[in-house]
């Protein structure tokens, strides 16, 4: 068994922050394009709404919600350790707590989104 020296919590926090940032930026662009459908009239928008009601699309939106929750919470961790130096000594614990909140939040929204 080979354990990578890269598979460590700090590196994962950094990589996930980057991936969620890219994902959220991409989602924002898609969201603006989708809203542009309004300009094409009610028929075009209704077609679009039918697409987003598909379970596959809801699953994709759940990923966006999870990315948003994680990115926001990690951002709070980064703000805390930058401006309140004492928290840097417990930053790993803060990261794990934020990760747990992100997982619980994602599960909560996932259940809500698929039950409606």
Contact residues toward another protein (CB under 8 A) are 1-3, 5, 8, 10-11, 13-15, 17, 77-78, 81-83, 85, 88-89, 91-92
Cα separations (Å) of 63 from 9, 18, 33, 57, 92?
21, 15, 19, 10, 24
The Cα 95–Cα 99 span in angstroms is 6
Of the pair 17, 37, the CB lying nearest another protein is at 17
Q: What are phi and psi of 53, to 5 degrees?
A: -85, -10
Q: Minimal distance in Å, beta carbon 12 to another protein?
A: 9
- Nearer to another protein by C-beta: 5 or 56? 5
Q: Is the Cα dihedral 96, 101, 102, 106 positive or negative?
A: positive
10 vs 36, beta carbon nearer another protein: 10
Considering the complex, what minimum distance in angstroms separates the CB of residue 56 from another protein? Answer: 33
Question: 33 or 76: whose CB is closer to another protein?
Answer: 76
Report the half-sphere exposure of 100 (CA within 13 A, side-chain side): 6
Name the minimum Å distance from CB 23 to another protein: 17
> At closest approach, how far in Å is the CB of 97 from another protein?
15
CA–CA gap between residue 45 and residue 26 (Å, rounded) = 21
């Amino acid at each position: 068994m080979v354990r990578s020296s890269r598979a460590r919590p700090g590196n994962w926090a950094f990589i996930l922050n980057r991936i969620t940032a890219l994902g959220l930026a991409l989602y924002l662009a898609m969201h603006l394009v989708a809203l542009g459908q309004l300009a094409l009239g009610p028929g075009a928008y209704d077609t679009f709404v039918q697409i987003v009601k598909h379970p596959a699309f809801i699953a994709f939106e759940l990923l966006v919600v999870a990315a948003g929750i994680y990115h926001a919470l990690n951002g709070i961790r980064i703000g805390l350790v930058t401006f309140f130096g004492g928290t840097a000594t417990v930053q790993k614990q803060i990261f794990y707590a934020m990760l747990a909140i992100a997982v619980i939040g994602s599960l909560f929204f996932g259940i809500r989104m698929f039950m409606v």
